[in-house]
Amino acid sequence: MLKKILIANRGEIAVRIVRACAEMGIRSVAIFTEPDRHALHVKRADEAYSMGEDPLAGYLDARRIVNLAVETGCDAIHPGYGFLSENSEFARICQERGITFIGPKADVIAKMGDKTQARKSMIAAGVPVTPGSEDNLADIEEAVVLANSIGYPVMLKATSGGGGRGIRRCDSEQELRDQYPRVISEATKAFGSAEVFLEKCIVDPKHIEVQILADSQGDAIHLYERDCSIQRRNQKLIEIAPSPQLTPEQRSYVGELAVKAAKAVGYENAGTVEFLVTGNDIYFMEMNTRVQVEHTITEQITGVDIVREQIRVASGLPLSYRQEDISFRGYALQFRINAEDPKNNFLPSFGRITRYYAPGGPGVRTDTAIYTGYTIPPYFDSMCLKLVVWALNWEDALDRGARALADMRVQGVKTTANYYQEILKNDEFRSGFFNTSFVPNHPELLNYSDKRAPSEIALAIAAAIAAHAAV
């Protein structure tokens, strides 16, 4: 079993990994850049080391991170998600220095991170993919010919893309010609690669992803699916497990496809296979070679600690479960509480948290790194909190979500919490049948009131007085 793990990340996922290490008797090492000096993951880890003044550079310097792991006696690195988590070079450097990378092998990360290579691997394994280019596009003329053959709309995507970047829908040849240089420019800046490919746009699909776990002994299982259809500009807002929209037959089929995909590429550790579902058709979209932001809801319905399993697998141990051991119970929802102003085009709202109160009660979980007095820095992702609720049935899960959102207090910055309350009231959402067009099709949900109740105002005044007195 691993003895000491460096966490190459920050925020709530770093705190999540610290907690898993503590439960397993493993020492944890945090890294931080100057804006994160007082961050919660720094306070909670057994050791913490500065990576310099630059907000981002220290989290992206693969060699320096690995060197620090060696110097501090770590035998493994957990990359979390984002930053270097899907960087095959980072995994390769770990291997060279004798540090265990808690994730798949470098060649698997490279293969699945290259969207065209991933498509080829899935086709070879018999996993259905959307019609599109077999290789990266040579130029705009090749893109136009292919788009005309498969029909509009089409999606133009960065081969090394992710996180909703480097992707554009094109409804006509003119749009394709206009967007082609823009996607190449964005891909080059964000991912260091100008390679792009094209595939048929599946209009208004359901976005379904399957959590998988695989060990070094060749065993792979799935932990059922999550529904990520509630999203804005390809960024997920609310995730649900299991999907209220799949039939038992579809659930079984998509789980089997995910395991087939994992075995086809020799996958190890935790990963997610993402699909687009329209009617009875299910298409492979991509594979995320890391732990997902929304792993929490899978843990809630299955009882499996995914981060713990990641560490066990990286230690060379077999999975703790066989497929027949896995079942799910109830429904779980995760609300990504972002420091954004939905009424102002979701403009980021960074600043000092003047008051934070975490909701509680049965079936409520919060994963966060914020606290009262913490200042959200403007250099990173705007997500400041993950609110997770669970209940035995769909309706109770929705009601519990509404209650927990109402209980929660994050003052000092704007958040998306009130917007999610409006989504929970919507009849279409409550019906359990929706797709990726839900958010753009319901702009009226942004017409909520920002006015606070008298008790809220009184609490805010009391918090301001207390803060002033403390100074």
- Per residue in 167-196, pLDDT (tens digit) is 999 999 999 999 999 999 988 887 888 899
**Closest by alpha carbon to 245, among 426, 393, 431?**
431
Residue 98 and residue 88 in contact, taking contact as beta carbons nearer than 8 Å: no
| 151: exposed, middle or buried (Cβ count in 10 Å: 0-12, 13-18, 19+) | exposed
CATH class entry, domain 131-200: alpha beta
Enter the tokens of residue 395: 């309706």
224 is written with which tokens? Answer: 């059922």
CA 256, CA 10: separation in Å to the nearest integer?
A: 34
Sign of the Cα pseudo-torsion (310, 316, 317, 321, in order): positive
Which candidate in 168, 226, 251, 290 is catalytic? 290
**What is the C-alpha end-to-end distance of the chain, expressed in Å?**
47
Q: What angle do CA 210, 216, 217 make, to 5 degrees?
A: 100
CA atoms within 13 A on the CB side of 76: 24
- Identify the CATH class of 4-102: alpha beta
Please give the CATH topology (third level) of the domain spanning 206-446: D-amino Acid Aminotransferase; Chain A, domain 1 (3.30.470)
Q: What is the DSSP letter of 72?
A: T
Q: Are 164 and 234 in contact (CB under 8 A)?
A: yes
How many Cβ atoms are within 10 Å of 44's Cβ, its own excluded? Answer: 18
Quote the longest CA-to-CA distance of the chain: 70
Q: Please give the backbone phi and psi of residue 56, each rounded to the nearest 5 degrees, phi first.
A: -105, -35
CA distance 372 to 420: 22
Pairwise CA distance, residues 249 & 254, whole Å: 9
Q: Where in the chain is the domain with CATH 3.30.1490.20?
A: 131-200
**How do 331-338 and 281-288 pair as beta strands?**
unpaired
Question: Of 206, 163, 410, 399, which is closest to residue 293 (Cα–Cα)?
Answer: 163
Domain ranges in the chain with CATH number 3.30.470.20 = 206-446
Q: For residue 184, what are its two tokens? A: 């190449």
Q: Outline which parts of the chain fall under CATH 3.40.50.20.
A: 4-102
pTM recorded for the entire structure? 0.92
449 Cβ contact partners less than 8 Å away, ≥ 6 residues apart: none
Q: Is 290 a catalytic residue?
A: yes
3-state secondary structure of 383: strand
Q: What share of the chain is helix, strand, coil (3-state, %, to 5)?
A: 40, 25, 35
Interval 71-111: pLDDT, tens: 999 999 999 999 999 999 999 999 999 999 999 999 999 99
Provide the residue-wise pLDDT of the chain in tens; the chain has 471 residues: 999 999 999 999 999 999 999 999 999 999 999 999 999 999 999 999 999 999 999 999 999 999 999 999 999 999 999 999 999 999 999 999 999 999 999 999 999 988 889 999 999 999 999 999 989 999 999 999 999 999 999 999 998 876 667 899 999 999 999 999 999 998 888 788 889 999 999 999 999 999 999 999 999 999 999 999 999 998 999 999 999 999 999 999 999 999 999 999 999 999 999 999 999 999 999 999 999 999 999 999 999 999 999 999 999 999 999 999 999 999 999 999 999 999 999 999 999 999 999 999 999 999 999 999 999 999 999 999 999 999 999 999 999 999 999 999 999 999 999 999 999 999 999 999 999 999 999 999 999 988 765 555 555 565 556 555 555
E-only strand ranges, 339-378 = 340-341, 347-348, 351-352, 355-357, 364-368, 375-376
How open is the CA angle 181-229-382, to the nearest 5 degrees?
70
Say whether 84 sits in a helix, a strand or coil. coil
